[in-house]
Amino acid sequence: MDGSTGRRIPPIVMGHEASGDIVKVGADVAGWQIGDRVTFDSTIYCGHCPYCLRGEVNLCDNRQVLGVSCAEYRRQGAFAEFVAVPSRVLCRLPNGLGYEQAAMVEPVSVALHGVHRARVQVGERVVVVGVGMIGLLVVQVLKAKGAGEIVAVDIDARKLELAIALGADSAQGSSIGMELDAAIEAVGITATVDMAIRSVRKGGNVSLVGNLSPKVEIPLQVAVTRELSIYGCCASQGDYEESLSLIASGAVKVDSMISARISLDQAPEYFDRLHRQEPGLMKVMVCP
């Protein structure tokens, strides 16, 4: 909001999680028509670089993100009545899925990609370190994927209660002292990354989803001598269709994370309330 991250240098129309109707179709676009109910991948990839050709669209050499303005590019986003996107990033909404639920597909896809990166197998025991919105979605994705035991860790008791309600088997407020098969870290600071690495068994997997801090210290000898696999996660990688299916089926519940529904002209007020970390506000849906 204030440009301090360098990822959204004003002026920019922000917004990268959205859904809506197609109201205009480009002359060269096939397979889509006016009136189609859609959402879209917020990662605008080129489709022809080596990474795209391998299916690693989130690593595209020419990657842009909707609603982001940085030193390299400026891509106007979705906090508006209209937004233009390439047809290659469109996804059709499943029948019966509402626009507000569909607008949650981007964070769900981030959670799903984090689980995929952790190589979690059916029946494995997993810890989720940090159960903010992404962590809560990770808990649900793990449950849907058949994880054997899900341990939620957070310092906020309310978040831990919600994690249990959404599928976690147990909740901890600090170090867990367990050797689990995998850890998914959804905060991105030294203390939580350290905890995630120390919580897995020898040969275990750690998926780093959170990136709150640009740099963290890690227990290097733990990672080396226990031969851990540590995976970075960037956005998502073709996970939108499966994410929409998880939401539409009810396997991943997003309604409890939508705190308010507002008009476009109320957005500045709610940006301020979110910036002040008003209790109880998680996701605010702007409905122009």
Structure tokens at 157: 């008791």
Give the tens place of pLDDT for each residue, 115-158.
999 999 999 999 999 999 999 999 999 999 999 999 999 999 99
First-to-last alpha carbon distance for the chain, in angstroms, is 19
Are 1-103 and 108-232 equal in CATH topology? Answer: no
Residue 191 phi/psi, 5° resolution? Answer: -60, -40
Q: What is the pLDDT of residue 88?
A: 94
CATH architecture of 1-103: Alpha-Beta Complex (3.90)
Residue 219 phi/psi, 5° resolution? Answer: -75, 85
Instruction: Tell me whether residue 285 is exposed, middle or buried, using C-beta atoms within 10 angstroms of its C-beta: 0 to 12, 13 to 18, 19 or more.
Output: middle
Least confident of 90-94, 132-136, 175-179, 251-255: 175-179
Q: Please check whether the domain covering 108-232 is classified as CATH 3.40.50.720.
A: yes
Cα 264 to Cα 274: distance, rounded to the nearest angstrom:
15
Q: How confident is the model at residue 267 (pLDDT cuts 50, 70, 90)?
A: very high
Alpha helices by DSSP H, the chain? 50-53, 99-102, 105-117, 133-144, 157-165, 190-198, 220-225, 240-249, 267-275
Cα 130 to Cα 177: distance, rounded to the nearest angstrom:
16
Report whether pLDDT(256) > 90: no
Cα 55 to Cα 119: distance, rounded to the nearest angstrom:
18
Domain ranges of the chain: 1-103, 108-232, 259-288
Please give the model's pTM, rounded to 2 decimal places: 0.94
Q: What is the pLDDT of residue 279?
A: 87
Does residue 288 contact residue 100 with C-beta atoms inside 8 Å?
no
pLDDT > 90 fraction of the chain, expressed in percent and rounded: 89
Give the tens place of pLDDT for each residue, 41-91.
999 999 999 999 999 999 999 999 999 999 999 999 999 989 999 999 999
